[in-house]
Amino acid sequence: MANVDIQHCIQKVRHDGFCILRGHFPVDAIEACRAAFEPIAKAYLAEFVDKPNRGPNRHFIPLPFHPPFYHPAFFDDDCVYAIVSGILGEQMVIDQYATDTPFRGSTHQDVHADLQPLFPELPDLILPPELLVLNWPFVDVTPERGPFQIAAGTHHMPRAQALAGIESGEIPLESLLMDLGDAMIRDPRCLHRGTPNMTDSGRTVAVVSFMRPWFCRRLSDVHPIGRSLWETLSEREQQLLQRLTIDESQ
């Protein structure tokens, strides 16, 4: 944790809605993920190419919980743990491991938040986050590859006001360029959108969702974790991943 200022990152997530840890994750571990993801994406697209679940030519694809996608560098990182637990508390859990991939032909998404207000009857109530997302790209995210855009600080604003501010240009949407090894922690209530990937290779970004232990949602596309891998995890990882189903046959 030597060169990461944890308190600064916590403040940045709280205030702006995101922070980026530059050059944080091991590039060789990510390159292994990129190679292993190719056949997964190919098989997925063979079935769902005409049924994109995130807009034209943009797919949310779950990842299996085994190497190379499971790596302690991603799930047992002291800095990520300190920042995320510094906001959500040490009882936090993970319920999802997946990817977002826009391909050529993807378009600008509507500006959106990934979570609905906790209390819909009070849509303007500003609360601390119940959930944070960790993202890291499997490729360098260049301007041509459809970078994620975010409107900093909009998680502190009534949503209608934030959307109007973005629409009028008063609140800027910032393109987040990322290199292999960069990792982002963000509040998914902070308004954002995906942009078009104009290249012939997918722009895949991994997605891990951390949440306070009382927050539950029904997810249909989460892979189990094999018992043999589970037994090798640290106590902290087992606490984080306690919501996964353990596959006793693996």
Ligand X SMILES: O=C(O)CCC(=O)C(=O)O
Which residues make up the interface to ligand X (CB under 6 A)?
A: 54, 100, 102, 109, 114, 148, 192, 194, 205
Residue number with CB closer to ligand X (9 or 197): 197
Residue number with CB closer to ligand X (114 or 174): 114
Q: How far is the CB of 194 from ligand X (least distance, A)?
A: 3
HSE-CB at 112 with a 13 A cutoff on CA atoms is: 11
For residue 95, CA distances in Å to 192, 219, 231 come to 22, 8, 19
Residue number with CB closer to ligand X (77 or 100): 100
For residue 107, CA distances in Å to 100, 112, 126, 168, 178 come to 14, 14, 31, 20, 19
Q: How far is the CB of 102 from ligand X (least distance, A)?
A: 6
Q: How far is the CB of 204 from ligand X (least distance, A)?
A: 9
HSE-CB at 227 with a 13 A cutoff on CA atoms is: 4
For residue 66, CA distances in Å to 42, 202, 246 come to 19, 22, 12
Residue number with CB closer to ligand X (87 or 205): 205
Structure tokens at 104: 């050529």
Q: How far is the CB of 10 from ligand X (least distance, A)?
A: 23
Residue number with CB closer to ligand X (155 or 192): 192
Q: How far is the CB of 97 from ligand X (least distance, A)?
A: 15
